[in-house]
Structure 1
Amino acid sequence: MGTGSRGGPRAQGPDDGSSSELLPVDEHLQAVLDSVTLLPAVPAPLRDATGLVLAADVASAVDLPLWDNSAMDGYAVRAADTAAASATSPVRLRIVGEVAAGDGEDPELPPGAAVRIMTGAPLPSSADAVVPVEHTSADVSGAVWAEHHVLVERAAEPGAHVRRRGEDVLVGGIVAQSGDRLGARRAAAIAAAGVSAVLVRPRPRVAVIATGAELRSIEGPGDAALERGRIPESNSVLIAALLAEDGIEPVTVEVCDDDAAAFAERLARLGGRVDAVITTGGVGPGVHDVVRIALAAEPGVRAVRVAVKPGQPQCFGRLRGGALIFALPGNPVSAAVSYELFVRPALLRMQGASRLHRPSTPATADSGWRGRADRTQVLPVRVRTTSDGLRCAPAVDARGYSHAVGGHGAADGYAIVEPGRGDVAAGETVETVVVAW
């Protein structure tokens, strides 16, 4: 079962990434989503399904609540018996029993009687209201609970402090829908509804490859000096961490140098083992851009330029082995923005999620920045909450920030500046997506 063609986008040659045509963000995203196929649904015990996406609606097996029950610790009564009660003229009722949570007893209340009842306990069939213990006096001096007779100091209306059977959900009612991600609240609702197993889609299997001859693993000796032209490798950490934030543990995380043949061999090895491959670097028009060069031999993959800053060069499609590939730019902010705009929605679509994007909210700019009217600008920002609403400020220098991994690390979200707008002035409102808090 799927949502689009398994063949992926139309093939293009190795130099297509240098085309002068810029694709709008929405157009490229739609091409990505159209190429996604749903992962097969599998049954799972409810306790093992947290974080997964439901593949079918979940109907309640019982009424919620299962029976009329007390919302308070107090006394189950006939409301009519308390009609004349007041603090100055309390009504005296005889205690004829007690019902605690978990009890199956159903004591009979004759007129003028009351039953001690605890929160959640079934309401006796002959009672129609509950008087909280705080509205009563005991027949024993200094005691909270009455032993033989209780003095009711406030009248109770019929239905007072009673949870009616099925008032939350009726048997057969939907407690969770297909496409919902199973979090704590939904899982608790499903368990309360008497359902122990659900149909879900698994998390996608994802491989991460960072490319670049200049990269040096951070896992080497801590005191090793970097040679001129070498930099610490951070993109594999970035992408793996972004996946982890979305509940996905990568199948493999690899770093490779600028060897097109070796890279192509890696893709051939991974293409049939995983659902998606995410790479960073090597997608530009340069002679050493190994990802673009290797992917030229893949008929289901194309190189494009997207009208976005940062993250313009992209390669995307389906490998001959079957996996989708997202080949992202090597600059770290470009890679992170590309993941947010294109990869994350696609991985959510694979899982059948009904919500593919984070919500955006207007924020007031604390300071202005230069924009690009010819494309969408995605600017890392620091976000803060004030009495006047959400405010944001650039976390990087807006003049050039695709490389600014340090400033990006302090960002809470992204300001999304639509094409045609250009510069943003201090005090103006801009749509903001919060990604961390």
Structure 2
Amino acid sequence: MARRGRFRGRAVDAEVDAFLGLRYAEPPFGPRRFAAPVPTDPADDCPEFGPIAPQSARLPGAPVWRPGDEDVLTLNVWTPSTPGGPWPVVFYVHGGAYAFGSSAQPDYDGAALVRAGLVVVTCNYRLGFEGFGHVPGRPDNRGLLDQRAALRWVRENIAVFGGDPDVVTVAGQSAGAASALFLAAWEPVRRVIAHSVPNRCYTRGFAQRVAEWIDTATPESAVASADALVAAQRTGPLSHDPVLFGPVADALPMLRPDVDALLCHTDVEYRLFQEVGTFRPPADLAALGRAWGIPEHVVAAYAPLPDAHVRLAGDFVFAEPTARLADAHGRAFLARFTRPPAWHTADVPFSFGNLDGADFLIGGPAGAEERALSRRMLRAWVDFCATGDPGWTGVRHWGDEVPSRREAWRGVDLSAPVDHPVSGTGARPPRPAP
């Protein structure tokens, strides 16, 4: 058993203690469903991960959501077992298209980062319609509000675990990276790590159109009807990449100049989605460009490239937006993850030091070269969290240096929020009561 103040967790090993499933807000169901999070005191005993948010995903090595699980607003702390500190803190927000995933995924185990000198915090938050669906009379972006409540809990309580509340880095990948930008815009955040920031915000009109097809009677029916709506997107822009939920906002926030920033994207982001079957591009590259509003000259620049569809989509949604954040900030550190398969999320196990069991994400079993790369990437994270400097100038390549494809994007506006039409099927369910 491990103890910090009144909290009782478990010893991971001789160097790391874990406190898992600490409640930071009341269960967001019953009369609190679709409302802003209500802060609460966590239980004293916290040896296991809490339940995950409603979703249909079944991810390798991760728990699944079970109907009836309600205490889903929890966080986890990994901290050095030896006295000392205060240590820098990294508060990590998981990705998953704002619709799936959890802090209990093996990729996000914080033990290796703790051994290198950090306190690590991860959290669960509301996903899908529960977290980002439009409900008249209720706040939008409830998932972001959950994250904000968790971050405030960290600032108020992390000293008990040896963390420094004045040296907190907010980090995330994909949807978690965009979430980190919102948190940095709302809260007094010192540093940000953002990997593969998606160029995806949504108009209120889009959110309202999606809501017309969601059965909100129960969390189960909301998940099921959202899955059905995703499957129904067989024509139009959403047929190529049917992501229905995310922040309702005019644009992603820019990073403040006083916030230290470490940004990263992978070389061929969308190859992952092609591999798992969620990216369904048309055979005609120009048709994909027209559907997403990508200018013809950009599409033409990609046409000769191998895997032109996945490269065009990945750069449009993730790589170019991430690089532009670095440009706008002026002193951000930018990295490109190019080690094959160099697809979306392949960089996460390397940064956390969790290569064992990540064979699919990293393209096979980890050998000596992979472990050496992981040590370098993990060290960069730790140094950045502690000092604001990961240890390089210019653009860092994690893997072989590859040519940039940025020139074609110069002058192209990527800031407009998604406002696509939505194709449903069957009868619309009753609208939710406010």
- Quick check: which has more Rg, 1 or 2? 1
Which structure is richer in relative contact order (CA contacts within 8 A, separation 6 or more)?
1
- Common fold by TM > 0.5: no
Which structure's residues are more often strand, by fraction?
1
Which structure's residues are more often helix, by fraction?
2
Range into which the TM-score falls when normalised by the shorter chain: under 0.3
